[in-house]
Amino acid sequence: MKSSAGIAYYISCAAANKKAFDIKILNVSDISPIADYFIICSGNSQVQVKAIADEIEEKMNEKGYSINHREGYSSARWVLLDYGNVIVHVFHKDEREFYNIERLWADAVAVNV
């Protein structure tokens, strides 16, 4: 079993495969009981947001990881993928700007991608 950090990096690479932009990995382990890492990334359209989410799920399945929960896929404005200790937020660029989730987790340690 890979570490949460390794999983987070692998997910960020899968997102990059579908041209996700502004990919950030936040280490939230010291400030949140929810997860160890958040991956936040953006797409330019609803089609791209779905493609990014699909790529992440496909690559994680190939590695033997199953998703605990997926939310927001049908609207493809903010898709949340829950892999336990790693939670992925795939935003449409407009939603990311509006919700500014990084501000909410400003105390998290950003990991270089």
Say which amino acid occupies 37.
Y
Number of domains in the chain: 1
Whether the CB-CB separation of 63 and 37 falls below 8 Å is answered with no
> Tokens 């609207």 label which residue?
75
pLDDT along the chain (113 residues), means of 10: 87 98 95 94 98 98 96 97 97 95 86 73
Q: Are 67 and 57 in contact (CB under 8 A)?
A: yes
Domain that holds residue 82: 4-111
Which phi-psi region, left, alpha or beta, contains residue 22 (left: φ > 0; alpha: ψ -120 to 50)? left
pTM: 0.93
Give the CATH number, domain containing residue 19. 3.30.460.10
In tens, the pLDDT along 16-43 reads: 999 999 999 999 999 999 999 999 999 9
